Structure 1
Amino acid sequence: MNPTSTLSKRLLQAAIEHHATDLHFYPFPKQTDIYFRIHGKRKLFKQIKTEQYQLLLTFYKFTSGMDIGESRKPQNGTLAHYEKSNLYSLRLSTLPVNQRESLAVRILPQTENVALENLFLFPAQFKKLKKWISKRAGLILLTGPTGSGKTTTMYALLQAILQEESYQTITLEDPIEKEIDDILQVQVNEKAGITYQTGLRAALRHDPDILMIGEIRDKYTAQFAFEAALTGHLVLSTLHAKDTLGTIHRLQEMGIEQIFLEQTLIAIASIQLIPLTINKKEQRAAVLELLDETQLKDALKGVDIRKSIPFQSFYHLRKKAFAYGFISEETFHHS
């Protein structure tokens, strides 16, 4: 086995043992810093010589199907990695910086099934999410910052529903983050001519009950998600936004007209991960700001729903978590 392949194996093994979600490589002229993202925080893991990093970068670019000769443009690739019989999907992306390229690697476990109840601090919120999925048409959005568990929640939610009901479920993803049995997953690949539009047309011919669109990234995918929901199907998707009201503002900024927001949007769930103080172990759980149909209609009319009784903001949820002793006072004030 060559030294570069051995170095790669050691780094990935260490990242997985530390429960890291990402690896970041920062190249400088002589040394390259390697960071792990663990529980949302970046920690310096080690430094290697930049010559070693260049070999490692070439190795990753080659094995993940990137263009080795291209260093001036950002590139993306995917790799499979096995660690103690567990499968991980690695999502790699390069970024040109100061005549060199930095590399980020997202680690996505494929064989671990997360029970949805274990993701949330308040299980009643999970029950609400499941109720929303019983709707037959419209759009449900899961929102939050990067690394807050939007996609994990969406996958876990779909799996929980499919255990109870036999729904024909089709996903359109770029890229597919986790392969799941009983779901038809379509990889969007613009180069190969599989756009969201062509993927949707093909998916609709398969008579789906539920459509999942990986992520709303821009005006194009936003319009697309709303059009898909207007076909009379239930559509699930994710979006980067701070909270539920921020989600509405982002959709309006993306040019979605008020009438489509009113007619198509069923509910919004915004996710925030908070560090727990249980058993002195470092672990996190999700709290959800939930905006259902009634509150959504009020919010779209300009009513300040933060003053309405059923709506629980992130501040209210953290206050509740602090009162129950789940989180520290510092977390309550600074999350």
Structure 2
Amino acid sequence: MPYLFLAQKNKITYLVLGGDEVVTKSLNELLKIAIEKEASDIFFMPKENCYLIKLNIAGELKFLKKIEKISGVQMINNLKYRANMMLSEHRRPQTGAMEIAEQIYGRLSSVGDFLGRESLVIRLIYQKKTEGMFFFQEQFENVVNNLQKKGLILFSGPVGSGKTTTMYHVARQLKKQVMCIEDPVEINEPSFLQLQVNEKAQMTYAELIKSALRHRPDVFIIGEIRDKETATSVINAALSGHLVISTVHAANVNGVIRRMLALGAHFEDLNQTLNLICYQRLLPTVQGESKVLFDQLFFDTPDTLDFIKNNGSNKMTMNWRMRLEKCLENQWITQQTFVKYLEG
């Protein structure tokens, strides 16, 4: 099926009909390379007369190739079409999602610069086999054990550290009614009821959580706590007797508490609802794979939160360092990886 892409001639923008066979072939080749290299992101970066394509591999941005400007525009519009994004909008930010390949999903984000040149980033989300996903299986079992309680479990870590994959994996262990609210939905899971944020239709995180409570799910997965309204809604859901699993951006496990308080959460409510905080990183192994390492905080006594609030540092816990040293001792990771991730 043909698709539309934008072309300029004498500073006038036209919609040009282009066959998608060549573009699809080029995209498939690009995606194949990215997947083989286990890239977490693909960047289409506009320059004056071309596009630079770069890959984020194990946290390092690597140049892949340079393509003609018109080819870059064609590829971007092909991807936007497949991700249900507006082709006619190439300046304002947009997000979308699509299935890249079997068990591999893409989260797309586009925006135009002040010259109207559009850039695009594809976040690749891999549905990896759960066996061998973690360096220490007992860390995962700690999460599963906390799923048996009502309350709040928070995951943190930088972009691309596998938080969404982990949340879905742990929720599958319950075999209960799970409702997901995300922006956008990243992983297609038929056994879950998945809702997608659409702020233009007034379907915000807070509004969807409020509506979803009427469906009485056993478990909520909330994609991200990013503002006061969402933080309040998440805590209210946990206070109402639900298990809520969510993410929040912070530099370490102690930083999650500060972040939640900064977003307007009340200390007393956190004290009643928080069960576990997991800060996670995806570390490259010497075998060329990537595995999850957690830094975890458990709220199993009433004074735990108070102690962390008043005494928590800006550094990783000693348990993180001990686990990292164990990975190095077992020759699962290199010395370079050990040094790189020592501070989280």
Partner of 1:42: 61
Q: Supply the distance in 1 between the matched residues of 2:332 and 2:35 (Cα, whole angstroms).
A: 26
For residue 210 of structure 2, what is the amino acid of its counterpart?
A: R
Partner of 2:12: none
Residue by residue over 1:172-198, the C-alpha shift from the partner in whole angstroms, topping out at 9 and shown as x without a partner, is 122111121322222222233433334
Residue by residue over 1:100-141, the C-alpha shift from the partner in whole angstroms, topping out at 9 and shown as x without a partner, is 1111112234xx4531x5221111111111110010x21110
Residue by residue over 1:18-70, the C-alpha shift from the partner in whole angstroms, topping out at 9 and shown as x without a partner, is 22222101111122110122233222111111121122223333343333332
Q: Supply the distance in 2 between the matched residues of 1:222 and 1:25 (Cα, whole angstroms).
A: 33
- Give the one of 303, 306, 330 matched to 1:324: 330
- Give the one of 62, 66, 70 matched to 1:51: 70
Q: Supply the distance in 2 between the matched residues of 1:226 and 1:69 (Cα, whole angstroms).
A: 39
Which stretch shifts more, 219-228 or 69-78? 69-78
The answer to whether residue 34 in structure 2 is matched with residue 21 in structure 1 is no
Name the SS for the 1:199 alignment partner: helix
Partner of 1:146: 159
The answer to whether residue 104 in structure 2 is matched with residue 92 in structure 1 is no
CA shift in 2, pair 1:265/1:79, >3 Å = same
Partner of 1:126: 140
CA shift in 2, pair 1:259/1:290, >3 Å = same
Given that 1:21 and 1:37 are in contact with CA atoms closer than 8 Å, whether structure 2 keeps it comes out as yes
For residue 133 of structure 1, what is the amino acid of its counterpart?
A: L
Given that 1:299 and 1:305 are in contact with CA atoms closer than 8 Å, whether structure 2 keeps it comes out as no
TM-score w.r.t. structure 2 length?
A: 0.84
Post-superposition offset of 1:98 = 4.7
- Give the one of 87, 112, 117 matched to 1:68: 87
Q: Supply the distance in 2 between the matched residues of 1:295 and 1:314 (Cα, whole angstroms).
A: 21
Partner of 1:114: 129
Name the SS for the 1:4 alignment partner: helix
Given that 1:114 and 1:156 are in contact with CA atoms closer than 8 Å, whether structure 2 keeps it comes out as no
The answer to whether residue 293 in structure 2 is matched with residue 287 in structure 1 is yes
For residue 214 of structure 1, what is the amino acid of its counterpart?
A: G
Partner of 2:25: 6
Equivalent pairs counted in the alignment come to 317
What is the percentage of aligned positions where both structures have the same residue?
A: 34
TM-score w.r.t. structure 1 length?
A: 0.86
Given that 1:39 and 1:283 are in contact with CA atoms closer than 8 Å, whether structure 2 keeps it comes out as no
Alignment of 1:155-166 (within 5 A): 155-162=168-175
The answer to whether residue 221 in structure 2 is matched with residue 212 in structure 1 is yes
For residue 204 of structure 1, what is the amino acid of its counterpart?
A: L
Given that 2:97 and 2:186 are in contact with CA atoms closer than 8 Å, whether structure 1 keeps it comes out as no
Listed as ranges, the gaps of 5+ residues in structure 2 are 1-19
Given that 1:290 and 1:312 are in contact with CA atoms closer than 8 Å, whether structure 2 keeps it comes out as no
Given that 2:45 and 2:53 are in contact with CA atoms closer than 8 Å, whether structure 1 keeps it comes out as yes
Partner of 2:273: 264
Partner of 2:16: none
For residue 297 of structure 2, what is the amino acid of its counterpart?
A: L
CA shift in 2, pair 1:220/1:267, >3 Å = same
For residue 258 of structure 1, what is the amino acid of its counterpart?
A: F
The answer to whether residue 98 in structure 2 is matched with residue 79 in structure 1 is yes
